[in-house]
Structure 1
Amino acid sequence: MNKSYLKVCGNHNVFFETYGNPKGIPVVFLHGGPGSGFSDSSKVFFDKNRCFVTFIDQRGCGNSTPNGSVFNNTTQNLTEDIELIRKHLKIESWVLFGGSWGSTLALYYASKYPEQVKSLILRGIFLGTKHEINWFVNDMGKKFFPKVYYDFVKIVPSGKNILSHYHEAVFNFEEKKTYDAIRRWQNLEEAAIKMSEEGFSSVDFKMQKISPDAKRKELNRMRVHLHYLINDCFLYQNEILESCSTLINKSVRIIQGDLDPICPKENAFKLHNSLKNSKIKIIQNAGHNAFCPKIKSALIKTIEEELEKIS
């Protein structure tokens, strides 16, 4: 296991960690969010004897510095960072593994650098469109979690765009109002993530109960997150689907929770229908959480199958 930083353009230092067998099949893990960073818990998906996995904290995320910075922080920047790290590690080509926003980034990278991609393993498909962003911010909570959604929107002045208000809250509001907004956004996220075979249980993310350092990290995460959403993830409309022609000869495996409210299964089928060589597995009674036992098991099995094909 090796941990390191790579200095990239725009005064960013991108943190990455390698895990597993240096002689194994190279895999790059692309975390979600945008803004979340990776965690050690994600190593559970990989056989360390057969894989050589690179985990990357995207610009402004996790251990990358400056943490929370949105300057020179776009999808295009992240894609170039992935490619720089590949070259730095002297990896010829690798398997892309990404869920939610990580699936978006994997597809975008693959469209720009198809020769460097062995295959893609994707979960909870997010295509980075205005429609999907609008669904999450304006419609999802209203449909599935009306009580949580009411708490989410009641701080937004009448007639004001919800996303714009929250974006302003994490950059320009005084501290108490900023963290109150973060709590409300987190509650909506958590309600959606916990929607699974166990059903929905009410949540209340208490900012005041976490350490000052954890609060600052959460603020930084939200700044990156909202920076991407308000800028339509720096993608033109339907860019991901329109770029699928570059992946015509690639193995693409899609794992999708049937009940995922954040990244609805319609997205996964749109991608699947655009990639005739792709295989899709719908996990019944499962949501967005990658660590849900059914999804976790499907991901591990899919990785094993892809490794067998590549070996």
Structure 2
Amino acid sequence: MQETYRAAQAVESGMLAVGGGHRLHYELSGAGDGIPVLCLHGGPGSGCGPRLRSLYDGTRHRIVCFDQRGAGRSEPQGETRDNRTPDLVADIERLRVHLGVDRWLVSGGSWGAALAVAYAAAHPQAVGALLLRSVFLTGDADLDWFFGEAAAAVAPREWAALRRCWDAPLQGRDVPAALARALDDAGRAGEVAQAWRCYEAALCLPGAPPPAPPADAAGRAALVAKYRLQAAYLSRRCDLGEEALLAAAGTLRGLPCVVLHGTADRVCRPLNAARLAAAIDGARLQWIEGAGHDPFDAAMQAAFTGWQRRFHPDGGFGS
């Protein structure tokens, strides 16, 4: 039976200096003495909105959310300097130490799932288990899919608007660099960011109304910052790439891991989940029939919260 949670109110928030001029915004919510669970947002660059907390049981968990470098309320907003995946991995470990957490359940979706794997490979002693959904493998194949003809056919109107952001035909893997250049043009950055946002939304929630443009200057600046950061990461395959990420996953033998993926995900290919689960010896793969990329899809949310309830403090998932 599906169980959903009301978003737990943040009980503590702060800014953590992590070097390179970056300060991370973090929030704690739920039970102060609960099982620590880390939420890694996607994007890259999206940030942790309050709604993400509704995926967790605030009566059972001590929920830790933070905005990765340059994302959300972290400072400086949209900064791409000193902002690479090894920096993010080190940031997570700094945050764990800062909060006095021994081991935590590390959860993430999309880009957050890839970051969770990279962190667990670097700091396995700090991870009680991994709970991953809607896997992004960070490689050329993912970019060829997302920015290629197959996905574009699902959202032809939104694709046409995005396609106007660069000139010559490109392979999907080369589109992020072209979008990065377009986003550096102050005169058109807002239009480019909104086109990318609408295309992404059309793949994530087919048939839903397109998101409205931000109403104020601060909202427009935040949207450009988000996609400028995302373009920078995707242009360099998130400093990982599929081969390196799967190799990191292969070092996690014995670490309890659950991989959830919707069979109708048009943003991240279902094949990704099968490949990642095969790379982590002992990982459990659960297909969510008919679900797309939306973490709040009823079936996806039910599976995600169900596996949380099976996690116990000494690590791993019960039967």
Range into which the TM-score falls when normalised by the shorter chain: over 0.9
Partner of 2:246: 241
CA contact (8 A) 2:136 2:142 kept: yes
Alignment partners' CA distance in 2, 1:155 and 1:125: 27
Cα deviation, 1:262-304, whole Å, max 9, x if unaligned, reads 1111000001111231111111111000001111111111111
Question: What secondary structure sits across from 2:281 in the alignment?
Answer: coil
2:195 to 184, 195, 205: 184
Partner of 1:143: 153
Q: Is 2:174 the partner of 1:174? A: no
Describe the shift of the 1:43–1:159 C-alpha distance in structure 2 as closer, same or farther (beyond 3 A): closer
Partner of 1:213: 218
CA contact (8 A) 2:48 2:66 kept: yes
Partner of 2:273: 268
Partner of 1:48: 58
Q: Is 2:304 the partner of 1:299? A: yes
Alignment partners' CA distance in 2, 1:262 and 1:149: 13
Describe the shift of the 1:306–1:290 C-alpha distance in structure 2 as closer, same or farther (beyond 3 A): same
| Deviation (angstroms), 1:139 | 3.4
Alignment partners' CA distance in 2, 1:98 and 1:134: 23
Which letter maps to 1:174?
A: A
Q: Which moved more, 1:74-83 or 1:16-25?
A: 16-25
Partner of 1:120: 130
Alignment partners' CA distance in 2, 1:75 and 1:140: 28
Alignment partners' CA distance in 1, 2:14 and 2:54: 21
Poorly superposed stretches of 4+, deviation over 4 Å: 308-311
| Deviation (angstroms), 1:45 | 1.8
| Deviation (angstroms), 1:154 | 2.9
Cα deviation, 1:27-71, whole Å, max 9, x if unaligned, reads 111000000000111111222222111101000011100011001
Q: Which moved more, 1:122-131 or 1:209-218?
A: 209-218
Question: What secondary structure sits across from 1:8 in the alignment?
Answer: strand
Question: What secondary structure sits across from 1:65 in the alignment?
Answer: coil
CA contact (8 A) 1:140 1:262 kept: no
Alignment partners' CA distance in 1, 2:158 and 2:289: 25
| Deviation (angstroms), 1:210 | 1.6
Alignment partners' CA distance in 2, 1:127 and 1:101: 8
Alignment partners' CA distance in 2, 1:119 and 1:293: 23
Task: Map 1:280-291 to 2 at 5 A.
Answer: 280-291=285-296
Give the percent of matched residue pairs that are identical in Structure 1 and Structure 2: 27
CA contact (8 A) 2:79 2:229 kept: yes
Partner of 1:105: 115
Describe the shift of the 1:238–1:3 C-alpha distance in structure 2 as closer, same or farther (beyond 3 A): same
Alignment partners' CA distance in 2, 1:103 and 1:87: 21
Q: Which moved more, 1:281-290 or 1:145-154?
A: 145-154
Question: What secondary structure sits across from 1:36 in the alignment?
Answer: coil
Partner of 1:193: 204
Question: What secondary structure sits across from 2:107 in the alignment?
Answer: strand
Alignment partners' CA distance in 2, 1:205 and 1:138: 22
Alignment partners' CA distance in 2, 1:293 and 1:11: 40
Q: What's the RMSD between the two structures over aligned residues?
A: 1.7
Alignment partners' CA distance in 1, 2:57 and 2:178: 43
List runs of 5+ in structure 2 lacking aligned partners: 1-10
| Deviation (angstroms), 1:142 | 2.6
CA contact (8 A) 2:139 2:237 kept: yes
Describe the shift of the 1:273–1:157 C-alpha distance in structure 2 as closer, same or farther (beyond 3 A): same
Which letter maps to 2:207?
A: S
CA contact (8 A) 1:114 1:246 kept: no
Describe the shift of the 1:231–1:277 C-alpha distance in structure 2 as closer, same or farther (beyond 3 A): same
1:164 to 149, 167, 177: 177
Alignment partners' CA distance in 1, 2:296 and 2:307: 15
Alignment partners' CA distance in 1, 2:141 and 2:289: 24
List runs of 5+ in structure 1 lacking aligned partners: 195-199
